[in-house]
Amino acid sequence: HEVPMHLPCRVLSIQSHVVRGYVGNKSASFPLQVLGFEVDSINSVQFSNHTGYAHWKGQVLTAEELNVLYEGIKLNNVNHYDYVLTGYSRDVSFLEMVVDIVAELKEANPSLVYVCDPVMGDHGWQMDKKMLLPVYRDKVVPVANILTPNQFEAELLTGRKMKTEKDAVEIMDLLHKMGPETVVLTSTDLHSKLGDPYLVVLGSQRIVKPDGSSSSQKIRMDIPKVDAVFVGTGDLFAAMLLAWTHHHPKDLKAACEKTVSLMHHVIKRTITYANEMAGPGKKPSPAQLELRMVQSKKDIEDPALVVEATVL
Amino acid sequence: MECRVLSIQSHVVRGYVGNKSASFPLQVLGFEVDSINSVQFSNHTGYSHWKGQVLTADELHVLYEGIKLNNVHHYDYVLTGYSRDTSFLEMVVDIIQELKRANPSLVYVCDPVLGDHGSMVCWHEHNHTQTHKCQFFTEVMDLLHAMGPDTVVITSSDLPSRLGDQFLVSLGSQRTVHPDGSRSTQRVRMDVPKVDAVFVGTGDLFAAMLLAWTHHYPNDLKTACEKTFSVMHHVIQRTISYAHELAGPGRRPSPPQLELRMVQSKADIEDPAIVMRATVIS
């Protein structure tokens, strides 16, 4: 059964669009809509498919064109959002325009929650995203409310290395100081007690109490590694974290368990199908590895829990 | 069900027209939807303001080339609606011809958006003093069959409804060629309640849902139409109620308030309760 949405909830998602497949807005919109969110989407690019295929072609949106679209929304006085969601950003000017838009939207609605995936790379820089670091660190993260960096990105933003769980906790606290009340380290190389086949996800939510004091809930999950390269999973993760923190605003444990569980179901369904398509002994292609999104509708609506988070 | 649709339509940041209107419901029904956005606008053009960018015929071709280079240009359906200009539409035609060569069973669902109650399509010319007879529309649909499509649905006509002024008449015709070469045609007629509001995006939703329900009922236009018209009814009713609630008593809802209640209609999209029956005629 699904949790009913009592109040209309509108998300502005500024991400890539691919004609075929599931990354960016293609990855985020359908699951959020299935969960009853109104999703306004600005497509930062339109490509035939994601860049992991042998070929890809398409067009990009400039920072100016982004501004024009936002102007249209504003002129109609419908620039009122409960959430903003962003992921991969192509260049500095585009990211800076996003920051300006978020700042204005926050003026229009001070309760707006900005969910930010600070995409810069993973175990190394993605293409030439080094220029984005200062913008993320100094301008974006300070206005983010929920941040979903991986280990690489968290280390870059804080200038600290993560070798132990203690390091991770300190890094999350540093990130809280920089802005976001909720931080989820979406994947780390930390050692898992369950062994090598598992990776460690950590989360921290800072709550400010009415008396002004603050406390934080920190959680850890050990989740099975997957022997395949998926694209779009980070975008799906951020979208579903938005949804489940919306339903469990003061319970990061519950929100993360649902989010991570849903990821598990989608990935498992995807791998099974991909291997079936590829045939025995053959490695599935990027096309075959596209997330089985529409087939996972029921899991999206009500993910069966397959992981339990430990409260630290 | 493994069924892939290529939908080439507009994208609006806010609201439900074009691909925004067609994708979610098709995905909810389990279709894989690849979407090429022919434009990206802030919202539909019925608002006071709208801004955005358009895709040229060349840029459309570039996107298709990307799909083709990866050898994933295999579709079961193509769906198109509003087209901006001749060059774009001609590129769409070229693409469809290639896709049909790649898959001869491909079904192209086309909403030939030209206008409504206007003079652009001669046989739809609206004339207050002369009501067309049903026979006229039967001939029109047969003419259209002869031009190509096996399935034709005239979403609204000026035929008088036996249920009265509050209803309009929709007609459908499906021509089937049997294995022995003989042909039969199923024609249906529906009396659909008129709605006192201007909606945008309903035509796009209709075409998408007709695609879905003719897919599930390929030889039964009656059922496909009943499901399609019924889902339209549920979405529109929900939208009107909400719009009036937002506007307040005695006030006319605005275009933003009249946006289709799409995500709220998921259950109706998945399994529309039948609220109107089609009559099989001749």
Residues of chain A contacting B59 with CB distance shorter than 8 Å? 59
The answer to whether A277 contacts chain B (CB < 8 Å) is no
Angle between helices B18-28 and B202-216 (to 10 degrees): 30
At residue B123, does pLDDT exceed 60?
no
Residues of chain A contacting B49 with CB distance shorter than 8 Å? 72, 75-76
Please name the residues in contact with A204: beta carbons below 8 A apart, sequence gap of 6 or more.
Answer: A169, A172, A173, A175, A176, A182, A183, A184, A216, A217, A218, A219, A252
Looking at residue B22, its pLDDT comes to 98
Inspect the interface and report whether the beta carbons of B66 and A41 lie closer than 8 Å.
Answer: no
Inspect the interface and report whether the beta carbons of A65 and B262 lie closer than 8 Å.
Answer: no
Three-class SS state of A126: coil
Looking at residue B128, its pLDDT comes to 41
A50, A91, A132, A155, B162 from A97: Cα distances, Å: 23, 10, 13, 25, 57
- Residue B118: band (very low, low, confident or very high) from pLDDT cuts 50, 70, 90: very low
Given A235, A251, A299, A302, the catalytic residue: A235
What sign for the dihedral angle of Cα B123, B124, B126, B132? positive
Residues of chain B contacting A53 with CB distance shorter than 8 Å? 70
Higher pLDDT, B82 or A180: A180
Q: Chain B: which residues have CB within 8 Å of chain A?
A: 11, 13-14, 23-24, 27-28, 30-37, 40-43, 47-53, 55, 59, 62-67, 69-70, 72, 256, 262-264, 266
Q: Are strands A113-116 and A146-147 parallel, antiparallel or unpaired?
A: parallel
Nearest to A53 among B42, B70, B264 (CB): B70
What burial class does residue A139 get, using C-beta atoms within 10 Å of its C-beta: 0-12 exposed, 13-18 middle, 19+ buried?
A: middle
Inspect the interface and report whether the beta carbons of A294 and B24 lie closer than 8 Å.
Answer: no
Looking at residue B177, its pLDDT comes to 86
Inspect the interface and report whether the beta carbons of B63 and A43 lie closer than 8 Å.
Answer: no
DSSP string, B27-49: HHTT-EEEEEEEEEESS-TTSS-
- Residue B158: band (very low, low, confident or very high) from pLDDT cuts 50, 70, 90: confident
Token pair of B239, please?
């939208």
Rounded Cα distance between B109 and B15, Å, is 23
Residues of chain A contacting B27 with CB distance shorter than 8 Å? 30, 293-294
Token pair of B111, please?
């909403």
Where is average pLDDT lowest: A80-84, B180-184, B228-232?
B180-184
Inspect the interface and report whether the beta carbons of A19 and B62 lie closer than 8 Å.
Answer: no
B74, closest residue in chain A (CA to CA):
A20
Looking at residue A6, its pLDDT comes to 52
Higher pLDDT, B242 or A129: B242
Inspect the interface and report whether the beta carbons of B13 and A48 lie closer than 8 Å.
Answer: no
> Å from B176 to nearest chain A CA?
31
Nearest to A46 among B43, B63, B64 (CB): B63
> Å from B157 to nearest chain A CA?
33
Four-point Cα dihedral A193, A195, A199, A202, nearest 10: 0
Looking at residue A217, its pLDDT comes to 95
Three-class SS state of B219: coil
Please name the helix (run of DSSP H) or strand (run of DSSP E) that holds residue B174, with its range, or none. strand B167-177
The answer to whether A80 contacts chain B (CB < 8 Å) is no
Rounded Cα distance between B4 and B66, Å, is 17
Inspect the interface and report whether the beta carbons of A57 and B63 lie closer than 8 Å.
Answer: yes
Token pair of B217, please?
């009922």
Asked if A39 and A243 touch (Cβ cutoff 8 Å), the reply is no
Looking at residue B282, its pLDDT comes to 66
Looking at residue A77, its pLDDT comes to 96
Looking at residue A130, its pLDDT comes to 83
Rounded Cα distance between A200 and A194, Å, is 10
Inspect the interface and report whether the beta carbons of A43 and B40 lie closer than 8 Å.
Answer: yes
What pTM does this model have? 0.95
Nearest to B50 among A57, A72, A297 (CB): A72
Residues of chain A contacting B37 with CB distance shorter than 8 Å? 17, 43, 46
Residues of chain A contacting B76 with CB distance shorter than 8 Å? none
CB-side neighbour CA atoms (13 Å) of A218: 13
> Å from B189 to nearest chain A CA?
33
Looking at residue B255, its pLDDT comes to 96
- Residue B124: band (very low, low, confident or very high) from pLDDT cuts 50, 70, 90: very low
Q: Which of A22-31, B132-141, B176-185 has the highest mean pLDDT?
A: A22-31
At residue B60, does pLDDT exceed 60?
yes
At residue B261, does pLDDT exceed 50?
yes
Active site residues of B: 204
Global ipTM: 0.95
Residues of chain B contacting A71 with CB distance shorter than 8 Å? 42, 51
> Å from A36 to nearest chain B CA?
6
Residue ranges for chain A with pLDDT beneath 70: 1-7, 126-127
Inspect the interface and report whether the beta carbons of B24 and A33 lie closer than 8 Å.
Answer: yes
Three-class SS state of A73: helix
Give the number of beta-carbon pairs within 8 Å between A and B.
Answer: 127
Rounded Cα distance between A290 and A23, Å, is 9
Rounded Cα distance between B44 and B184, Å, is 41
Nearest to B51 among A37, A53, A71 (CB): A71
Looking at residue B214, its pLDDT comes to 96
The answer to whether A43 contacts chain B (CB < 8 Å) is yes
Token pair of B241, please?
């109620």
Looking at residue B197, its pLDDT comes to 79
Asked if A236 and A31 touch (Cβ cutoff 8 Å), the reply is yes
Inspect the interface and report whether the beta carbons of A49 and B70 lie closer than 8 Å.
Answer: yes
Asked if A164 and A190 touch (Cβ cutoff 8 Å), the reply is yes
A235 among known catalytic residues: yes
Looking at residue A70, its pLDDT comes to 98
Residues of chain A contacting B42 with CB distance shorter than 8 Å? 69-73, 76
% of chain B beyond a pLDDT of 70: 93
A103, A197, A235 from A227: Cα distances, Å: 40, 9, 19
